[in-house]
Every structure is written in structure tokens, then in C-alpha cells.
A and B are shown apart, each in its own frame.
Chain A
Amino acid sequence: TQDYHFGLEEGEGISELFDCD
């Protein structure tokens, strides 16, 4: 995965992205 540009910030995960935190 070293080529992939991870952009999610600290504290941003699938729960926040789908508004389910």
C-alpha cells in the first residue's frame, strides 16, 4: 500500500464517513 495516498485524518474512519459515530 506504500503507493496509495492515504488522506483520512486522525479520528476520521468509516463510522464518521457514514455518519454513524
Chain B
Amino acid sequence: PPQTPVRAAMNTIQQLMIILNSASDIPSDNLLFYFNNCTVNPHESIVKRVENMGIIFKNKFAEAVGQGCAEIGSQRYKIGVRLYYRVMESLLKSEEKRLSVHNFSKLLNNDVFHISLLACALELVMATYASRNASQNVNVETDLSFPWIINILDLKAFELYMIVESFIKAEPSLTREMIKHLECCEHKIMESLAWQSNSPLFELIKQSKDREGQADEPEPANY
């Protein structure tokens, strides 16, 4: 039978639970294998970052929704972290296959990579639960919809944009609704958020122009 919005939202949550049922709150053995293969082992910094981001997330969630919902925020964060570790492992496996590389020291010690991956996982969890509440007309959440998550984690919109496609590729079990939501976030970023004055996008554009040697040509008037 055709899905009602409630059914669709519930299916998405169920799917998220199925995906994460077997996922772990801490790095898996496979992940530890990759960590140990790094020139600089990132294990400690990754776990510490998850802890620190957790404190920020829970405080901001409680601030936004109410102290009575602090435990809900805690649960959301926990689910997000499971998805973060699961997708990280899948990303590394595919990079290992693609590049025939086993030492991911630079990537795994890159702060922005981890925060954008965690933010993407948390955004998906937040959207999944928010859509359920919206379809049941339950107004529990104040506006925690995107870009709330990148604002509280102090992440640039374009930095999140860089991870979305790889995230979707790395997690084949995402539902249509989840993928649609991430695509919607991408559109919001490219339509406006990525063009804010402090966006790293401008530097990337400048670098690519420099690389193409266009810098020394006079810019055509229509620029």
C-alpha cells in the first residue's frame, strides 16, 4: 500500500536502527587495524574528539529543546557516532581498494574530515527523527534542522558538502528519504551557505585559477 508520511518516517527510523544495530559505539577491529597502520596513530585523538563533540552536541541540544530532553540528545548523539564509525570503516575500505594504500595517516589525522563525517552522520539521525515528529505533528523539536548541526560543531558548510557524496557511496543501506535529505542539504549549501564570506570555497576557486595560470590574465569584464 502507498506509504503515508508517518509510515515513511517510521520505515526510515527502522532502517537506521537495522543499520546501526550491529554497529559499535567505539572503533571496530577493522578501524583499529587502519589506525595502527598510520604513521601517526589517530586513535586517541579520534576518541577524544568524539567525546568533546558529544559534550557540545548534548549541551546545544538541551539548550535548544529543553533540559528535560538532554537524555534524548544523548541518545541521538550515540546513534550518530555509531553511524560515523561505520561509514568511516566503509570509506577506508573503498579508499584502500581504489588507491591500494594502507596508510591513511594524513586523512585520519585531518580534523575537518572527522568533524564533517560526524556532522553528516548526526544530520542524518536528526533529520530521521525530526521527520517522524513532524509527520505526527509532535512539536518537540525547535528548529534543529540543517544547518543547525554545522553551526554548533563550528563546521563550514562547504566542508560538509565535501563528504556527502562519499558518505552516500560508502553506506549503501541508506533509504531514499535519507539520500534525498542529504541531497537537499547539498543544494542548500551550494545555493547559499557555501558562498558566505568565510567559506573555504573561495580559496579553492582561487587555487584552481592559479593552477590554471589564469591569475595573470586580465579578468574579462563580464566577471
Chain A bound to chain B: yes
Which residues of A are in contact with B by a Cβ distance under 8 Å? 1, 3-8, 13-15, 17-21
Could you jot down 6 A-B contacts, CB within 8 Å? A1-B174, A6-B169, A8-B166, A13-B94, A14-B113, A17-B162
Is B70 an interface residue when CB atoms closer than 8 A count as contact? no
Q: Which residues of A contact B91 (CB under 8 A)?
A: 14
Q: Is the CB of B168 within 8 A of A8?
A: no
Interface residues contributed by chain B, number (CB under 8 Å):
24
Q: Is the CB of A18 within 8 A of B183?
A: no
Q: Is the CB of A6 within 8 A of B112?
A: no
A15 touching B99 in the complex, CB below 8 Å, given contacts A4-B183, A20-B107: yes
How far is B15's CA from A19's CA once the two chains are assembled, in angstroms? 33
- Interface SS of chain B: helix
How far is B201's CA from A17's CA once the two chains are assembled, in angstroms? 12
How far is B95's CA from A19's CA once the two chains are assembled, in angstroms? 14
How far is B99's CA from A14's CA once the two chains are assembled, in angstroms? 11
How far is B179's CA from A3's CA once the two chains are assembled, in angstroms? 8
Is B172 an interface residue when CB atoms closer than 8 A count as contact? yes
Q: Is the CB of A14 within 8 A of B183?
A: no
Which residues of B are in contact with A by a Cβ distance under 8 Å? 91, 94-95, 98-99, 101, 104, 106-107, 110, 112-113, 162-163, 165-166, 168-169, 172, 174, 176, 179-180, 183
Q: Which residues of A contact B113 (CB under 8 A)?
A: 14, 18, 20
Option from B112, B165, B168 in Cβ contact (under 8 Å) with A18: B112
Q: Which residues of B contact A14 (CB under 8 A)?
A: 91, 95, 107, 113, 163, 166
How far is B110's CA from A21's CA once the two chains are assembled, in angstroms? 12
How far is B164's CA from A6's CA once the two chains are assembled, in angstroms? 10
Q: Which residues of A contact B162 (CB under 8 A)?
A: 17-18
How far is B107's CA from A20's CA once the two chains are assembled, in angstroms? 5
Q: Which residues of B contact A8 (CB under 8 A)?
A: 165-166
- The listed residue with most A CB atoms (<10 A of its CB), out of B91, B104, B163, B169, is B169
How far is B148's CA from A21's CA once the two chains are assembled, in angstroms? 31
Option from A1, A3, A7, A13 in Cβ contact (under 8 Å) with B172: A1
Given A13-B98, A18-B107, A18-B162, 6 other A-B residues pairs in contact with their CB atoms under 8 A:
A1-B168, A4-B168, A8-B165, A14-B95, A14-B107, A14-B166
A8 CB → nearest B CB, Å: 6
Q: Is the CB of B179 within 8 A of A13?
A: no
